[in-house]
Structure formats: C-alpha cells, structure tokens
Amino acid sequence: MAMDAAMIERLIKESLPDAQISIEDLRGDGDHYAAHVVSGAFRGKSRVQQHQMVYQALRGRMGNELHALALQTSVPDE
C-alpha cells in the first residue's frame, strides 16, 4: 500500500513542528522514499533516538503502509 509524501510530511510536522523536511519519491511509486529531517528536537540525541522520533511521528506506518523510507536526520546549523 502506498502513502503520499505530503502525508509523511504532515505526520512528521505534527510531532516535530520545527522540522524542515525534504522528501524524495525514489521510484515514483509512492512506496520508496528518502527523507531528510532537520529539527532542533534532535539535539543531544543519538541517531537511533532521532530516527525513533521520526518513526514515532509516523505512528506505526513505517514498516507497514510505508515500505521503505531511507531516513537521514540532523540538527539545524547554529
């Protein structure tokens, strides 16, 4: 089942309102995305914790409706 990029962005924004998100639909099939999420909320967190915050924002869709989301997270430049 596919999921559109706007939906992914909206869900992430709900949990991480300051997030700057860029999403690329890798195959144009609505099922394989690459996302880069930049948020101040990631500061001081490990990569695993940062990714877990994004997965939490997606509320269980990752690994289900959303098959593949290559994720990169970072904190904003000072």
Partner 1 sequence: MDITVQDRIRQEITDAPVVLFMKGTPVFPQCGFSAAVVQILSHLGVKFKGVDVLSDPSVRQGIKEFSAWPTIPQLYVKGEFVGGCDIVREMFETGELKQLLEEKGVSVRA
15 binds partner 1 (CB under 8 A): no
Nearest-10 Cα torsion for 48, 22, 59, 1: -120
Q: Considering CB under 8 A, how many residues would be counted as binding partner 1?
A: 13
**Beta bridge partner(s), residue 74:** 38
Q: Which of 60, 65, 75, 77 binds partner 1 (CB under 8 A)?
A: 60
Rounded to a whole number of angstroms, the minimum distance from the CB of residue 39 to partner 1 is: 16
Q: Which of 14, 20, 68, 76 binds partner 1 (CB under 8 A)?
A: 68
* Residue 26 near residue 32 (C-beta atoms within 8 A): yes
26 binds partner 1 (CB under 8 A): no
The 3-state DSSP class for residue 37 equals strand
Half-sphere exposure of 56 (CA within 13 A, CB side): 8
Where do contacts with partner 1 occur on this chain (CB under 8 A)? 47-48, 51-52, 55, 60, 62-64, 68, 70-72
